[in-house]
């Protein structure tokens, strides 16, 4: 019997493993299974590259499109699925090797993390808009529960806030989907794209606005991102690494995928989305300057980077899109690194307030060093990969003589330098009390292994960006290539 590898595996395997959780508990295999599942999915994604390079892969379930539900694996979907499983592997390896956070190594967390990965994969693969809603809700419910998984006051508060904001966002998305269906009688995204331009203009605007509110909340865009820092402050840093690294990226993809495919002419929404991205970036970076808690600072920094990615993606030129996708990858790695470091620091220090972490470099030299590396990568200093991705974005803008985003991005980088160095200075300052001078008990190098892997990736991608360049170009073309997608799915020229 031969096994056929199809795109549905990216969704089915995590779901199946999650439902078999009682078995893994009995065999004491919970963490190995969680980790190897992510590694296997990553390997699977890599094994698809040659095939996807030739043509996107469609898998139709039940009937022929537009009647059936289908999954669409093209270069961009493959890129994101690979990214999600890599980030997932790093985070689960960290949780596995770590001797803190026992509640993350039990069955509920195991199931929820797998559901989150399955849902995120589903969101980028699906070609059916109602399926998209179902995956958004799968991701949503597992994210709400993960936020509250520590079950103390702060975690429950974060979970409740996330749940309220997230369900309101889901209602707006559902409303837009309902209107789309009532107007066109279609649920297939490609078929919808064909019918979308025939709708009345007001209806298009209303659907666009509802989608923007719903996905804007989920993708943490200004002004819908007021809730983010609270959630990032209250949940476990390992979990926030998943949010910032996987969840937000999946929602950003959905937002831009729908924008580019539904609108025949994406320049209609270009200025609005670019403005939204620019405001998100500048506001978040300015607010980050004033944060006195490490996790809140990282949350605002994450928002700033999301704004930058939005700004570059919304411009809808191939060069900026490729740069934005590369920055998406880098940002995932950097934020996973920084949030996992925050998790390690939280073991040693009761709080991560600026005044409490003075002299951290004495007790946790490796952590402080990796933090500096992550900060430099966010700022975009060579030879780290953040430099290359920011360079591509800036080059993409300046090649077409659009200079205001360039100025804004550079200003944002300056502000970023301001607050990251504020923290680095605190880490390398003289400790305020002698008690915290003691070397951390049980600090194992093993804990740092996943973090060192990320650091290595950041450097490798910075030195050799050509490893990914082809793939990123293809992904950008796939994201922007409306005609090709319609053609592939419906078999007709739009």
Partner 1 sequence: MLEVLELFDRPAVLHSIYLIGSLILFFIGLYGLLAKRHLLKIFVSIEIMELAVYLILIAIATTPGETAPILSDGLTAFTGMSDPIPQALTLTAIVIGVAVTALGTSMAIQYHRLTGKVSVGEMTELKD
Between residues 55 and 164, which has the closer beta carbon with respect to partner 1?
164
Nearest distance, CB of residue 445 and partner 1, angstroms: 33
Please give the Cα distance from 147 to 465 (Å, whole number): 35
Nearest distance, CB of residue 353 and partner 1, angstroms: 8
Q: Which helix (H) or strand (E) holds 367?
A: helix 365-379
* The only residue of 296, 335, 358, 390 in contact with partner 1, by rule CB under 8 A: 296
User: According to CB under 8 A, which residues from 134 to 173 bind partner 1?
Assistant: 134, 137, 140-141, 144-145, 148, 151-154, 156-161, 163-164, 167-168, 170-171
Residues in the interface with partner 1 (CB under 8 A) total 40
Contacts of 168 (CB under 8 A, 6+ apart): 217
187 belongs to the binding site for partner 1 (CB under 8 A): yes
Contacts of 144 (CB under 8 A, 6+ apart): 159, 162, 163, 166
Q: Which helix (H) or strand (E) holds 69?
A: strand 69-73
Torsion 253-298-160-150 (CA) sign: positive
Site map (CB under 8 A) of partner 1, residues 273-292, x = contact: ------------------xx
Please give the Cα distance from 284 to 164 (Å, whole number): 22
Nearest distance, CB of residue 165 and partner 1, angstroms: 10
Nearest distance, CB of residue 133 and partner 1, angstroms: 8
Nearest distance, CB of residue 231 and partner 1, angstroms: 8
- Let me know: does 139 contact 250? Beta carbons within 8 Å: yes
- Let me know: does 378 contact 370? Beta carbons within 8 Å: no
Nearest distance, CB of residue 227 and partner 1, angstroms: 10
Site map (CB under 8 A) of partner 1, residues 92-131, x = contact: --------------------------------------x-
Between residues 158 and 276, which has the closer beta carbon with respect to partner 1?
158
Residue 263, helix vs strand vs coil: coil
- Let me know: does 368 contact 427? Beta carbons within 8 Å: yes
Between residues 63 and 438, which has the closer beta carbon with respect to partner 1?
63
Per DSSP, helices labelled H in 98-235 are: 107-125, 129-147, 153-184, 189-196, 201-218, 228-234
Between residues 244 and 310, which has the closer beta carbon with respect to partner 1?
244
Q: Which one of the spans 27-35, 133-141, 255-263, 471-479 is the region binding partner 1 (CB under 8 A)? A: 133-141
Nearest distance, CB of residue 301 and partner 1, angstroms: 16
User: According to CB under 8 A, which residues from 372 to 411 bind partner 1?
Assistant: none
Between residues 133 and 333, which has the closer beta carbon with respect to partner 1?
133
Nearest distance, CB of residue 146 and partner 1, angstroms: 11
Between residues 169 and 193, which has the closer beta carbon with respect to partner 1?
169
Between residues 108 and 465, which has the closer beta carbon with respect to partner 1?
108
Nearest distance, CB of residue 311 and partner 1, angstroms: 28
Nearest distance, CB of residue 251 and partner 1, angstroms: 17
Site map (CB under 8 A) of partner 1, residues 230-269, x = contact: x--xx-----------------------------------
Between residues 141 and 480, which has the closer beta carbon with respect to partner 1?
141
* Partners of 72 in beta bridges: 58
Residue 58 main-chain phi, psi, to 5 deg: -110, 135
DSSP string, 163-197: HHHHHHHHHHHHHHHHHHHHHHS--BHHHHHHHHT
Between residues 229 and 396, which has the closer beta carbon with respect to partner 1?
229
Between residues 254 and 311, which has the closer beta carbon with respect to partner 1?
254
Q: Which one of the spans 102-110, 181-189, 403-411, 438-446 is the region binding partner 1 (CB under 8 A)? A: 181-189
First to last CA, the chain: 40
Site map (CB under 8 A) of partner 1, residues 208-237, x = contact: ---------------------xx--xx---
Query: What are the angstrom distances between the C-alpha of 144 and each of 129, 236, 413, 470?
Result: 22, 12, 32, 37
Nearest distance, CB of residue 171 and partner 1, angstroms: 5
Nearest distance, CB of residue 153 and partner 1, angstroms: 5
Between residues 185 and 382, which has the closer beta carbon with respect to partner 1?
185
CA angle 167, 215, 489 (to 5 degrees): 115
Please give the Cα distance from 322 to 395 (Å, whole number): 11
Please give the Cα distance from 460 to 161 (Å, whole number): 39
- Let me know: does 253 contact 125? Beta carbons within 8 Å: no
Between residues 152 and 483, which has the closer beta carbon with respect to partner 1?
152
Nearest distance, CB of residue 258 and partner 1, angstroms: 18
* The only residue of 64, 182, 430, 434 in contact with partner 1, by rule CB under 8 A: 182
Please give the Cα distance from 145 to 41 (Å, whole number): 24
Residue 69 main-chain phi, psi, to 5 deg: -95, 130
- Let me know: does 73 contact 57? Beta carbons within 8 Å: yes
Q: Six-digit token pair at 259?
A: 């924008």
CA 71 to chain centre: 20
- Let me know: does 352 contact 237? Beta carbons within 8 Å: no
Residues of this chain that bind partner 1 (CB under 8 A): 130, 133-134, 137, 140-141, 144-145, 148, 151-154, 156-161, 163-164, 167-168, 170-171, 174-175, 178, 181-182, 185, 187, 229-230, 233-234, 291-293, 296
């Amino acid at each position: 019997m031969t096994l056929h590898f199809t795109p549905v595996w990216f969704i089915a395997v995590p779901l199946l493993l999650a439902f078999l959780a009682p078995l893994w508990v009995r065999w004491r295999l919970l963490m190995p299974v969680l980790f190897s599942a992510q590694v296997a999915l990553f390997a699977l994604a890599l094994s698809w590259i040659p095939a996807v390079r030739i043509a996107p892969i469609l898998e139709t379930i039940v009937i022929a499109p537009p009647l059936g539900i289908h999954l669409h694996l093209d270069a961009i979907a493959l890129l994101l699925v690979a990214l999600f499983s890599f980030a997932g592997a790093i985070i689960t390896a960290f949780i596995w090797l770590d001797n803190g956070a026992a509640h993350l190594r039990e069955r509920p967390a195991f199931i929820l993390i797998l559901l989150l990965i399955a849902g995120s994969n589903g969101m980028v693969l699906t070609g059916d808009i109602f399926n998209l809603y179902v995956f958004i809700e799968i991701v949503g419910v597992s994210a709400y529960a993960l936020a509250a998984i520590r079950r103390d006051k702060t975690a429950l508060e974060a979970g409740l806030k996330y749940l309220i904001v997230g369900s309101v966002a889901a209602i707006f998305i559902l409303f837009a989907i309902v209107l789309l269906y009532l107007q066109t009688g279609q649920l297939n995204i490609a078929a919808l794209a064909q019918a979308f331009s025939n709708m009345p203009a007001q209806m298009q605007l209303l659907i666009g606005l509802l989608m923007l509110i719903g996905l804007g909340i989920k993708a943490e865009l200004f002004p819908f991102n007021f809730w983010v820092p609270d959630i990032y402050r209250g949940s476990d840093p390992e979990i926030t690494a998943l949010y910032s690294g996987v969840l937000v990226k999946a929602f950003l993809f959905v937002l831009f995928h729908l924008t580019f495919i539904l609108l025949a002419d994406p320049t209609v929404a270009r200025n609005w989305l670019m403005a939204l991205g620019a405001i998100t970036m500048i506001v978040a970076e300015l607010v980050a300057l004033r944060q006195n808690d490490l996790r809140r600072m990282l949350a605002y920094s994450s928002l700033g980077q999301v704004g930058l990615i939005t700004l570059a993606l919304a411009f809808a030129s191939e060069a900026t899109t490729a740069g934005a996708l590369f920055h998406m990858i880098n940002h995932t790695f950097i934020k996973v690194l920084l949030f996992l470091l925050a998790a390690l620091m939280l073991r040693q220090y009761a709080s991560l307030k600026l005044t409490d972490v003075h002299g951290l470099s004495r007790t946790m030299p490796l952590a402080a060093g990796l933090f500096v590396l992550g900060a430099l990568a966010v700022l975009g200093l060579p030879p780290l990969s953040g430099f290359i991705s920011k360079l591509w974005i800036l080059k993409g803008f300046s090649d077409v003589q659009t200079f205001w985003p360039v100025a804004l991005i550079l200003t944002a980088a300056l502000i970023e330098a301001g607050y990251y160095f504020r923290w680095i200075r605190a880490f390398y300052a003289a400790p305020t009390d002698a008690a915290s001078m003691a070397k951390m008990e049980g600090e194992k190098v093993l804990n740092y292994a996943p973090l060192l892997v990320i650091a290595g990736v950041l450097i490798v991608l910075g030195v050799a960006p050509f490893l990914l360049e082809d793939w990123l170009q293809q992904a950008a073309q796939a994201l922007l290539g409306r005609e090709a997608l319609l053609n592939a799915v419906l078999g007709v020229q739009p």
